[in-house]
Chains A and B, each alone.
Chain A
Amino acid sequence: MKEMLLALVSNKVADYLEIRVEESTISSLRFRGPVLEAVNSSMQHGGCIRALVNGGWGFITFNDLNNLEEKVARAIHQAQLVGAAGGNGRLAPVPVVQDVVQVPFLEDPRQVKLADKVELFRGYNEIILSHGKQIVSSSINYFDKYSKIHFANSEGTYILQHKLDLAGGVTAIASDGSTTQMGRTGFGSSTDFGVARNLEEKVQQACGRAINLLAAPSVRGGEYTVIVDPELAGIFAHEAFGHLSESDFVYENPNLQAVMKLGTKFGGEFLNIFDTGLEIGARGYLKYDDEGVATEKTHLIKDGILVGRLHTRETAAKLGERPTGNARALDYTFAPICRMRNTCIGQGEASFEDMLKGVKLGVYTKGSYGGETNGEMFTFSADEGYMIRDGQLAELVRDVNLTGNVFTTLGNIDMIGKDFMPHESPGGCGKGGQVPLPTSEWAPHMRIQNVLIGGK
């Protein structure tokens, strides 16, 4: 494969040419209530070719791996058309790499019999369904995807990466006839089926949360001091700052470059945000990105100051910065674009008790359904919230959806916890139609002043 692919992309009339060939096997299962609704097995194979000619890009994707020469010619032709219209694409230099990457397995899900996987999840399902009459149903999803991805480019790089992504979610659904509430737990890994095991206690807790939410009132809308748990703080890092750090948003927008000038102060000196591909086991773990660039730990905010951003080879070239290994493609049907890996808020010094102290009226928010951003504003919803009154945790509230302005909110973070915690969840990040891309978000507890919460 190596020689064939390298020969295919060499000596062509293009400034740059790359090919990716992917073979994946996916197995998945799904419980809904007592029924094992689906056990699916899937094989995917295909490839894509990307060409750069006179600054213009051509991209072609296919299942059929025959006639690759013809496909190369077509990608080049498309790139020529764009180049002739005045393309300005270019790439920052990176080292030429030849490597084969294996998955550093702890427990390989392919070695676990399908019957054993089914029994494991059936066990969780039974915990939920036997919990009591307020639990009316359950929902369990699990998948593992094992991929072999060949990458070759006209600069002589050839990488074969074996990758694993596995994740799942276990949800308890409670109802009292008029309202339905959910409690959930999730897991994910790039190396270990073991993360799906021993979740009994977490599943029990999810049942309790669903039931408790039935009787909880909706939070009242308004501005609050908010303490976010590590899971939500991670989502915050991803939504409120990670996306804005993706340079494809910045690289051709001079006004935004002025706002995002390296060296600008964004928060208190205790605020550190970074994005890393190096954490083995995280869903955002990645040795090389989909341009064949080695990943790294990229500091975005250090001691409150903007120090870096996430790059593809193209955005790095345009901004005169260094590629960071953030060019990722969901699969062979997409070209790589600038994406996050594992986005983290660095550990602070505060204890949870320190954060509660002095909060007259606030909300402690836990767990997340997910969030969204448009660069300037972000939102995310919490699984549950507890009111904070006079420095004490008080009643449970639901329907907690937080929003804020990225720039002011970063400055409103006044405490960061010393309890930095890895956290993996199912789902993934969406951008440009490429969803769900596996990412991770790790963080400690965090306190933010003046957060707007929606509600009546």
Chain B
Amino acid sequence: MQDLIAKAKQQAQQAELYQITVTETPVRYENNKLKGIDASSRQINALRIVKDGKLGFATSTGDNLQPLLDMALATTQFGRDWDLPLPGPAALPQVQLTHPSTVLDTDTLVEMGEKLVRRLGQCHPDLLASADVSTRQATTKLINSQGFAGEYSKSIFSILGGAELTEGKNFLSLYAGYFSGKLEDQLEKTIESLVSNYEHGRTNVPVKSGKYTVIFTPQGLGDIINPLLECANGLAVEKGFSPWKDKLGEKLFAEEISLFDDATISFAPASCLFDGEGIPAQRTAIIEKGIINSFILNMVTAKALGLKSTGNGFRSKNGELSAPGNSNVVLEIAGTQPLEQLLGSVKQGIIIDSLMGAWAGNPYSGQVNGNIALGFLVEDGRIKGRVKDCMVSVNVFEAFRHQIEGASAEKEWAWNMLAPHLKLSDISISAKG
């Protein structure tokens, strides 16, 4: 790697080489049976150079490093202006990214998948269960001509469980799962979630159009939080299409709300020691007590805005650097109560665990419309059954200003987000008939 940097330095002023090697062994269960065992190993290389104040970029796979320099040089004539020094050596945070519990042999992964499909099979003879159980080891290296040389290894255990029950033209589709740097009780929790959603989802109950109290589960919250993350994204701010572009320091939301991007949580799915540009991992308050506190920035968006990178210059699967990205997202709501109490206080409402198509809107308007793929009707604090064929419509900007009614003390990981169950009032539901 150092050779390439040295060679690049002869033709360019700055150079940076990013390399990630990943090995993964997923075990797949489909329709209640072991379907396949996979193994994958890949290496991605990405070279970034600065020549005469212009950026050049190229990527390759495997050990194919040689063509990178010529490819990157060829792009510099069109490259964007770049007058920033790449980061030099820096103190990196103490974040634990590997744990021996995630190093699992194939037999153990098979056993875990087997346990999941067996347990779900007990729910109903026609239920079809699936499971993807995998361990992934990745090593990330980054070196640049300014003296930064960093490397870290990370291991992730993941489990994705699913269940399908088709009865006539009624489909019940469930999924649950976790990514984690430490194996704890994720298998048990995945099973528990699927079984409980199966039990609550067995009976369909009618729902009428109207305004409801809605509890979003951590899994159901993803689409609701997304507009906030998009508006805080440095690219949308830099280009002027984020409505928050001139709102730093303004209180746009209720006091109870804080939202963080945090790459420093040990064993969390998206933690790291440094981002794809060599900026140390950090915790950034996006919203603090309802106030817009910080944008999510990589080097280039930070420079354009006269700010400092927040260490969110993450790479895509192919090693590219594009918009700033989020690491782990943490939603905190002040004044929580136990979930049981939160649910118990609902006279008539709806729990939303997953939405369909809600991502396909315009995030900068704050408007989220989605089909309720999995939701339950609650009456007098008790779950009555599943609601279907209906849509929820929320303006997130308004809802987070004056429709928050509470949140659970219990927090759950939903992919890379750690969040409580969130209760909102006066949410529009449109139903058939």
Contacts and interface: CB of A to CB of B under 8 A. Distances in A.
Interface string A32-52: 110111111111111000000
A259 B166 contact: yes
A87 interface: yes
Contact of B67 (A43, A75, A375): A43
Contact of A85 (B34, B356, B390, B393): B34
Secondary structure type dominating chain A contacts: strand
B34 A253 contact: no
A63 B62 contact: yes
A399 B106 CA distance: 47
B367 A371 contact: no
Contact of A452 (B40, B367, B430): B430
B78 A118 contact: yes
Contact of A43 (B60, B77, B209): B60
Nearest to B36: A57
Interface string B352-375: 000011111110110101110100
Contact of B367 (A218, A378, A380): A218
30 contacts: A37-B322, A39-B78, A42-B71, A43-B61, A45-B64, A78-B39, A86-B34, A87-B35, A118-B78, A137-B239, A139-B239, A179-B243, A180-B242, A221-B209, A221-B393, A222-B209, A253-B31, A253-B164, A255-B167, A255-B168, A335-B38, A378-B371, A380-B357, A381-B360, A399-B369, A401-B357, A450-B432, A452-B432, A454-B371, A454-B430
B276 to A, nearest CB: 14
A256 B78 CA distance: 54
Interface of B: 30-31, 33-43, 57-64, 67, 71-72, 74-75, 77-80, 106, 110, 126, 128, 164, 166-171, 173, 209, 235, 238-243, 318, 320, 322, 356-362, 364-365, 367, 369-371, 373, 388-393, 428, 430-433
Interface string A64-82: 1100000000110011011
B414 to A, nearest CB: 17
Given A43-B61, A136-B241, A377-B389, A59 B38 contact: yes
Given A180-B364, A375-B171, A63 B37 contact: no
A407 B166 CA distance: 13
Contacts of A61: 38-42
Interface of A: 29-30, 32-33, 35-46, 56-65, 74-75, 78-79, 81-82, 85-89, 114-115, 118, 136-137, 139, 173, 175, 178-182, 218, 221-223, 252-256, 259, 333, 335, 368-381, 398-399, 401, 403, 405, 407, 450, 452-456
Contact of A29 (B58, B78, B166, B318): B78
Contacts of A29: 78
Given A61-B38, A381-B357, A399-B369, 17 more contacts: A37-B80, A40-B58, A46-B62, A59-B38, A61-B39, A114-B75, A137-B240, A223-B432, A252-B31, A255-B168, A371-B357, A372-B360, A377-B388, A381-B361, A398-B362, A399-B367, A452-B390
Given A86-B33, A372-B357, A115 B78 contact: yes
A406 B30 CA distance: 24
Contacts, number: 263
Contacts of A46: 42, 61-62
Contacts of B370: 379, 401, 454
A341 to B, nearest CB: 22
Contacts of B428: 221, 455-456
Given A74-B39, A374-B171, A376-B170, A41 B75 contact: yes
A181 B169 contact: no
Contacts of A255: 126, 166-168
A87 to B, nearest CB: 7
Nearest to B34: A85
Contacts of B367: 218, 399
A85 B240 contact: no
B42 A63 contact: yes
A63 to B, nearest CB: 3
Contact of A38 (B34, B41, B80): B80
B239 A253 contact: no
B37 A81 contact: yes
B216 to A, nearest CB: 16
Give the interface centre of A36, A118, A381 by most chain B CB atoms within 10 Å. Answer: A381
Contact of B240 (A65, A136, A179, A372): A136
A250 to B, nearest CB: 9
- Sorted from nearest, which 5 A-B pairs have the closest CB atoms? A379-B357, A63-B62, A454-B391, A221-B430, A57-B36
Nearest to A256: B166
A218 B173 CA distance: 31
A57 to B, nearest CB: 4
Contact of A180 (B31, B59, B362, B369): B362
A39 B79 CA distance: 6
Contacts of B64: 43, 45
A62 B40 contact: yes
A222 B393 CA distance: 11
Contacts of A452: 389-391, 430-432
